[in-house]
Amino acid sequence: MATSGYREAVDWLFQVRRFGPDRTLDPIRRLTGMLGDPQKSYKVIHITGTNGKGSTSAMIASMLRAAGYSVGLYTSPHLERFTERIVVDGEEIPEGVVVRLTAQIRPLVESLNAEPERVRPLFFDIVTAMAFKHFEKKGVDFAVLEVGMGGRLDATNIAQPLVSVITNISLEHTQVLGDTVLKIAYEKAGIIKPDTVLVTATRDDSVYAFFEETCRRLHTEIHRVGGDITFKRLSEDLDGQSFTVDGLRGSYELRTPLLGGYQLYNAATAIGAVEALSRYNITVSGSAIVEGLAGVEWPGRLEVMQRSPLVVVDSAKDAEATKALAEATEELPHRKLIVVVSISNDKNIPAMIANLARVADRFIATSHNVMGRAAEREALGREIEKHGKPWESVEKVGDAVERAIEMAGKKDMVLVTGSVFAVGEARRRWKGASA
């Protein structure tokens, strides 16, 4: 049962405009200034990238906690509950605190909206300010902040990190961030701060050259996964994978419960980030790195929900992510693969379906319940037909999952993907209702 006033608080947050034509950092600066600039009260690690930034953030937070620090973790979007976005030491922000912070912040937002220059905080400005204030109140040592979109003009970018992380770069949100990889790299590079450290896992040499030049100009160290940080997989099963990493300060033999080869890139990146803290005489021990990666939790990413038939959910939400997902599914044990798919209508649907069709035997097209965001099932079906794969339409995600499990043999696999929203709905079958 929800805390009194919680639903009203969340409803107010979600009715605030999410995007604006003239995006600046002025609203978040003004808002956090009114709150006493809470983001200055703790150390920050700042993470952006096209894919993997959430997993990398969770890994960094887990390693810092294993080292004995109190850690705030700010991520988006949520799978099932708004409170998942703001976490301190593994505990989601309590609903009562959401109510109190909303009551504190809402009058400030309304006063800014009423000013003649019309400084209008957007949804992400408000939620970011809420996270910053909660972390201050809890007295965290570190805040691990995942960028919502881009980097340069993202609300999180008023924080001053010790270490910045850029996981990778590919085309995403092109109407906002730009229509070339280098334009998007420019937006991501906006989180790099002078005289700090950048760790990146980009595999694009032209992007890396751009980051390298940016860091040279800012007198910032740069480290690259695949260059001065390397890794090697040892084994993988449905319980996780074992691997080694040769990092900036040491070599480690590790295990993580997170599946998929791409998670090894994320793990190597996360290790580089915590090792880079040594620049500030902050040392995270090898045992904390091992313990942190072994205990990391990041639901909805190649997550096994049941084993007979095997059901896996993955929040792949763009072309690059579905390409990596398709490669990962080939390593999981199955005979036939049934893909339950729902994709938001602002995504590159042809490329996403093409990637999934390479490994799928059949599809069930469905619609997540985020108002106005889900692509029409028939549009998905038309793309599926181009690849000669059978498909059917089931309106609701939960019903589509049940249909897929009903169709699957014991040695087959059901994959639910295409959207964070779809995965959040699917997980309720096993994890209960959301709040």
Same domain, 307 and 289: no
Q: What are phi and psi of 159, to 5 degrees?
A: -75, 155
Please check whether residue 347 lies inside any domain of the structure. yes
One domain, residues 203 and 271: yes
Same domain, 326 and 218: no
Instruction: Please indicate, yes or no, whether residues 248 and 379 belong to a single structural domain of this protein.
Output: no
Domain coverage including residue 350: 303-428
Domain closes at, from 262, 294, 326? 294
Helix 397-407 vs helix 420-431: angle between axes, to the nearest 10 degrees? 70
Q: Quick one: 151 and 283 in the same domain? A: yes
Q: How many domains does the chain have?
A: 2
CATH number at residue 322: 3.90.190.20
Please indicate, yes or no, if residue 412 is contained in any of the structural domains. yes
Q: Domain check: are 210 and 342 in the same one?
A: no
184 and 83 assigned to the same domain:
yes
**φ/ψ (deg, to 5) at 412:** -90, 175
**Are 279 and 329 found together in one domain?**
no
Distance CA 260, CA 251 (A): 21
Last residue of a domain, one of 246, 261, 294: 294
Those residues whose C-beta lies under 8 Å from the C-beta of residue 87, and which sit 6 or more positions away, are 61, 72, 73, 74, 75, 93
Please report the pLDDT score of residue 176 as a whole number.
46
Domain with residue 51: its CATH number is 3.40.1190.10
pLDDT for the residue 174: 45
Q: Does the residue 1 lie in any domain? A: no
Q: Which is nearest to 424 in space by CA: 337, 297, 303?
A: 303
Maximum Cα–Cα distance for the chain, whole Å?
Answer: 64
Residues 267 and 317 in one domain: no
With respect to residue 433, please indicate whether it lies within any of the assigned structural domains: no
Is 245 part of any domain? yes
For the chain, 435 residues long, give each residue's pLDDT as a single digit of tens.
678 899 999 999 999 988 766 789 999 999 999 999 999 999 999 999 988 999 999 999 999 999 999 999 999 999 989 999 999 999 999 999 999 999 999 999 999 999 887 779 999 999 999 999 999 999 999 999 999 988 999 999 999 999 999 998 875 544 445 458 888 899 999 999 999 999 999 999 999 999 999 999 999 999 999 999 999 999 999 999 999 999 999 999 999 999 999 999 999 999 999 999 999 999 999 999 999 999 999 999 999 999 999 999 999 988 989 999 999 999 999 999 999 999 998 889 999 999 999 999 999 999 998 766 788 999 999 999 999 999 999 999 999 999 999 999 999 999 999 999 999 999 999 987 554
Confidence (pLDDT) at 22:
72
Residues 266 and 316 grouped into a single domain:
no
Looking at the structure, do residues 331 and 225 belong to the same domain, yes or no? Answer: no
Domain limit, last residue, from 273, 294, 315: 294
Q: How big is the chain by its Cα radius of gyration, in Å?
A: 21
**Residues 125 and 256 occupy one common structural domain:** yes
